[in-house]
Structure 1
Amino acid sequence: MTHEKSYTTEEIAKILRISKLTVYDLIKKGELPAYRVGRQMRVDESDLEAYKARAKGGYRQAQGEASAHSMQGQALPTTGQTMPSALRHVIISGQDVSLDLLASHLEKRELPLRPLRSCSGSLNSLVAMYAGKADIVSTHLFDGETMEYNVPYVRRILTGHRFLVVNMLARWAGFYVQAGNPKQILSWADLAKPGVRIVNREKGSGARTLLEEQLRLANIAGLDVNGYEHEETSHLALAGVVARKEADVGVGIEKAARLVGVEFVPMVKERYDLVMLKTKENETLLTAVLDILRSAAFQKELEAVGGYDLSQTGTIIYETW
C-alpha cells in the first residue's frame, strides 16, 4: 500500500518561500487543506500541488485532480475523524510553553475552534494580528519611555482595532552567564565592557526589545556591544550558545537557563500578556480564553511548570471599548 507524501507547516513555508504565519493563514481560510496528526498540522502533496496550480491560474485543472478533501471538498480530516467546514482555525502566536497549555485547554472544549501554534516573536505577532493572521498573541515588550510592558506597543500597532490585553503570567528575565559569572556581568552597562561577548535574540522578539531599551536608557549604542549582530531565534538556542562558551552573556528568561544549565542573573520581572481583538467573530474565543486563564485547573498546570508568578493571571490589563 502506497502512502502519499505529506509536509509540515515549516516545510510548506520553505517550499512556497513564505512565512509560517502565512501558511497558517492559508489553512485558516480553507485555501490549503490540512489535517492534524497529534499536535502537528500536515498538508498532503496533492493538495499542495492543487493549491500551486490554482495560484498559477490553473484552477479548473486543479479541481479535477485535487483529492476529496481539497478546498472545494468542505472537509479537513483529522486523525480518525472529519473536521466540519465550519470549524475555525485559531492561531496562537508566541513561544512560551504556557501557550501550548492554553491550546490544549481550548481543544478540550466543545467549541467550533481548532488552535494552531505559531512561534513568532512579540512584535511580529502583533503585526500579524493587525494583518488578520493571528488570533491570540503573547507579548512581553518593555517600553523604556513609560517603563511599562506591552500596552504602549499594542496601542501603537493595533491602531484602529478594538482589543483586549489580559495577563497570562509574570516571569524573570535576565542574563545567561557561564558558571561563576567570570566576567562579573551584573548590570546592563556591563554588556559593553571590553572582552565581553554577547549573543542576541532576533529583531522583534521581547528579549531583543528589552535589551535595546535598556541599552538606550544607559546611553549605549548596540554597535558598541561585541556580538550584538549574533542572533538566535529562541531562549533555549541563545542559552545554548552561552553554555558552549561561544558567548559570555545573553538575555532571556529564567526557565531556559535551568533547562540548559547556565547560570542566571535576574534583572527584571516581565509581564507576559495575551492580546485578542474584540470582534463579533471573537466573542466565543474571548469568553473561553478568559475562563481558561481564571480556572483552577489551568493555573494548577502552570504552577507545575514552575518559575511563573500567577498573581495577575486572568486580570484584564487594558481594553478598548
Structure 2
Amino acid sequence: MSSDQSYTTEEIAQLLKISKLTVYDLIKKGKLPAYRVGKQMRVDATDLEAYKRQSKGGVGLSAASTDEPPHIRSATKELAGVRPLVITGQDMSLDILSKHIEKQAAGFRALRSFAGSLDSLISMYQGQADLVSTHLLDGDTGEYNLPYIRKILVGSSYIVVNLLARQAGFYVRQGNPFGLKGWQDLDKPGLRLVNREIGSGARVLLDEQLRLHRIAPSSLLGYDTIESNHLAVAGKVGLGEADVGIGIEKAAAIVGSVAFIPLIRERYDLVMRKSPDNARWIEAVLDILKSEAYLNELRAIQGYDLSETGTILLET
C-alpha cells in the first residue's frame, strides 16, 4: 500500500462498513487522524491501517453490525452506551445547544451535521438525523417551515419548536451602488448575484421570491455561482466579486465590509422525531431552550429574536 494514498470519509465508511457519521466521530475523538483538503476531510492509508491494528482484539469498529442502516444504531454500539444525537444546521445557536445537551442529558453525545434545511428534513425522514433545524419559506402562504415539514415527514410522529427568529435580506456593497430596496430589484441590468446551494433555506427564500415576482432565475448573472454558507456569500460581496447575496444579518456584522438590507423575519425552528427512546433527550432539549443559561448565551449574539424560543408550534 502506498504511503501517499489517502481516503475520503465516504471511502473510509465503505471500507469499514460503518456510517459516515461514525467516521466523523472517530476523527472528532482523535482516534482516526485526518486533515482537510479544501472542503474535504482525508485520512492517510497508513493511519487507517494503524487504527485497524489497534482495534483488533478489542471492541472497535469490527464489533459493529454491518447489516444496520448507516445511522445512529451502528454508532451506538461503538460509543459504549453513549447514544449519538445527530443535530443538523449551520447556525451558531446549534453549537451552543449541542454543548448544553451533553451537559444536561447524560448518556447522549451531540454530533453536528451542517446540512441545509431541506436536506435536513429529508435526512430525518430517512432516519439519519434526530434533531433538525429548518428555515424554509412557503411563498404561497407566507408560512415558515410547517408546510414543508408536513409534506416531507409524512407518517412520522414529531414535535416542532421555535429556536429563534432572525432577519434575512440582501448583502450589498457599501453604499448600495445599485440602490437595492426589495426583491423586485433583483432584475436590474448588470447586477451580479452570489447564490446558495440547492436545499438551503436562503436558496429556497430566493427561489420563492423570484417566483412570486416573476423573475426568471436564468436572467440573473451569477445565479449558478454557489457558496455553502452565509459568511462565504457575504465575503464574496465584500470582496466586490458579487453585488448582492441572500443571507442573515449576523454574517454581515461579522464580515463588516458589506451592508445589510433586511427584507423578511424568518423563523428558525427545530424538529425532533418522537419515540419512546427519544423522550428523555427531547424533554432535556425543551428544558434547555427555556433555561436562562442557554438564553443568556444567545442574547450575546447579534440579530437573534428570542421572544418565541422554546414555543411548541406543532406536535403530532
* TM superposition score category, shorter chain reference: 0.7 to 0.9
Is 1:158 the counterpart of 2:153 in the alignment? Answer: yes
Rounded Cα–Cα distance in structure 2 between residues aligned with 1:272 and 1:102: 14
Provide the residue aligned with 1:190 in structure 2: 185
Query: Contact 2:193–2:223 at 8 Å: present in 1 too?
Result: yes
Rounded Cα–Cα distance in structure 2 between residues aligned with 1:124 and 1:42: 29
SS at match of 1:92: strand
**What code does the residue aligned with 1:256 have?**
A
**1:172-191 deviation line (CA, Å, top 9, x unaligned):** 00000000100111111111
Provide the residue aligned with 1:283 in structure 2: 279
Consecutive unaligned residues in structure 1, runs of 5 or more: 1-6, 52-61, 75-82
**1:227-254 deviation line (CA, Å, top 9, x unaligned):** 1111100000111110111110000000
**What code does the residue aligned with 1:152 have?**
P
Query: Contact 2:163–2:269 at 8 Å: present in 1 too?
Result: yes
Provide the residue aligned with 1:307 in structure 2: 303
Distance 1:139 1:248, change over 3 A: same
**What code does the residue aligned with 2:26 have?**
A
Is 1:124 the counterpart of 2:124 in the alignment? Answer: no
SS at match of 2:261: strand
Query: Contact 2:160–2:314 at 8 Å: present in 1 too?
Result: yes
**What code does the residue aligned with 1:303 have?**
R
Query: Contact 1:33–1:43 at 8 Å: present in 2 too?
Result: no
Q: If the length of structure 2 is used for normalisation, what is the TM-score?
A: 0.82
Is 1:199 the counterpart of 2:206 in the alignment? Answer: no
**What code does the residue aligned with 2:148 have?**
Y
**What code does the residue aligned with 2:102 have?**
E
Q: Cα distance, 1:11 vs. partner?
A: 4.8
Provide the residue aligned with 1:34 in structure 2: 26
Q: Cα distance, 1:313 vs. partner?
A: 0.1
Distance 1:116 1:67, change over 3 A: farther
CA RMSD of aligned residues (A): 2.8
Distance 1:35 1:67, change over 3 A: farther
Rounded Cα–Cα distance in structure 2 between residues aligned with 1:220 and 1:134: 35
Q: Aligned to 2:294, which of 292, 298, 319?
A: 298
Q: If the length of structure 1 is used for normalisation, what is the TM-score?
A: 0.81
Q: How many residues align?
A: 284
Is 1:143 the counterpart of 2:138 in the alignment? Answer: yes
Rounded Cα–Cα distance in structure 2 between residues aligned with 1:239 and 1:33: 30
Provide the residue aligned with 2:255 in structure 1: 260
Rounded Cα–Cα distance in structure 1 between residues aligned with 2:19 and 2:118: 16
Rounded Cα–Cα distance in structure 2 between residues aligned with 1:284 and 1:98: 21
Is 1:43 the counterpart of 2:43 in the alignment? Answer: no
- Matches of residues 1-150 of structure 1 in structure 2 within 5 Å? 11-13=8-10, 23-24=20-21, 26=22, 34=26, 36-37=28-29, 43=32, 48=48, 66=56, 68-72=58-62, 85-150=80-145
Q: Aligned to 1:237, which of 225, 229, 232?
A: 232
Q: Cα distance, 1:68 vs. partner?
A: 2.8
Rounded Cα–Cα distance in structure 2 between residues aligned with 1:50 and 1:134: 30
Query: Contact 2:25–2:111 at 8 Å: present in 1 too?
Result: no
Q: Aligned to 1:213, which of 208, 213, 227?
A: 208
